[in-house]
Amino acid sequence: MNKLKTFLFTVLASAIAFSCAEVEVAEDDGWEDLEIRTEYKAIKVEKVATGLERPWSLAFLSEDRMLVTERPGRLNLIENGEVTEIEGTPEVMARNQGGMLEVSVHPNYEENGWIYLTYSKANGDDTALTVARGRLDGNSFVDIEEIFVQNQYSSPGRHYGSKIAWDNEGYMYVSIGDRGTNPPRAQDNSDHAGTLLRLNDDGTVPDDNPFVNDDNVANEIFSYGHRNIQGLIINQENNEIWATEHGPRGGDELNIVEATKNYGWPDASYGRAYGNEREFHDGTEARSLEGMEDPVYEILPTHAPSGLALVTSEHFSEWEGNLLAGGLRSERIRRLVIEDRTVVHDEELLTFELGRIRDVRQGPDGMIYVVTDEDPGGVYRIVPNED
């Protein structure tokens, strides 16, 4: 009897192991490249890496080496499809929308090696958006410096903004959302919430920041009245800053962000209040009150903006100068054609093909990379389909 039990247990264990192996192989090998004909370009979507837990942001070290964050608190190196966790990164509070968020590489990375991370730092039950930088030493994050902490901790874990972009003079721009529970913070210029910041690469304040001589405004602030910028790109040819940000119920926006400007939140928005669907202003001709900026474009229906990329690659000459705006709730990318700071055409790409789009980047190889906000999530590459 004991021999029979042992035999049956062995057979059962082998069957389970075989079954698990089958599932693992199917999950790994089951991907088939997507071939899609868009309005002006035939494209193919390839898998780069999968099995990630809520990946958030992507940055490139070279054509074949990239960094990707996972919101629960990890930074990973991806090389030839292999994912390696980097040790020694800062501790984060991974709650709600908080955790390990943006990763960005210094424009002069080849010379100085600096890599930047944004994350939610805890103080008791409250958090603040924080920026740290460090360098890679093998698979370790070293020389860590905490260079910026939002000037007010708060709960809950929402609306961190957290995107980083670099202008062509080497200044770093960091978005911070209104943090969710008290939207009027975005109109309080002593508070970093609901703003776009302009910083030196070491986190200090540039001498020529627009509010640096105003005692009533935090020196780091470049613009304010933002609900939650989660798409941010700077055109290196002209230093134009383009941003996509979340509206409330509707009202997702594409903005050109300029120094000292007030972008309205929460006093003005095309969206409606969640609780009663009321308008945010009394007028009907524009969403803004006096002294507040209208968006360049309202993205409808609800998009829930995420990563934003500017296409400059010769591999996508048909899309040159277009913006690719990722969407979370909409599960698609919006290709926005810009002429004279105006959106003249809007095409939807990858609708419901990959899931929630968290980040969109143009890589150093000229291809377009997409990160999905799923568990498991992944990194995908869009390439031209010449077949």
Q: Are the C-beta atoms of residues 43 and 381 closer than 8 Å to each other? A: no
* 25 dihedral zone (left: phi>0; alpha: psi -120 to 50; beta): alpha
Q: How far apart are the C-alpha atoms of 178 and 159, rounded to whole Å?
A: 6
- The residue type found at 157 is G
- Kindly state the DSSP code that residue 90 receives in the 8-state scheme: P
For 292, other C-beta atoms within 10 Å of its C-beta total 19
Q: Are the C-beta atoms of residues 288 and 294 closer than 8 Å to each other? A: yes
* Positions marked active-site: 159
Tokens of 381: 């590459």
C-alpha pair distances (Å), 161 with each of 128, 239, 270, 310: 11, 21, 19, 19
* Residue in 198, 175, 172, 196 with CA at minimum distance from that of residue 116: 172
- The residue type found at 163 is K
169: phi then psi, degrees, rounded to nearest 5: -105, 0
Q: Are the C-beta atoms of residues 324 and 271 closer than 8 Å to each other? A: no
* Residue in 226, 199, 202 with CA at minimum distance from that of residue 210: 199
Tokens of 362: 């143009």
Count Cα atoms within 13 angstroms, Cβ side, for 39: 11
Calculate the CA dihedral of residues 378, 80, 75, 106 and round it to 10 degrees: -110
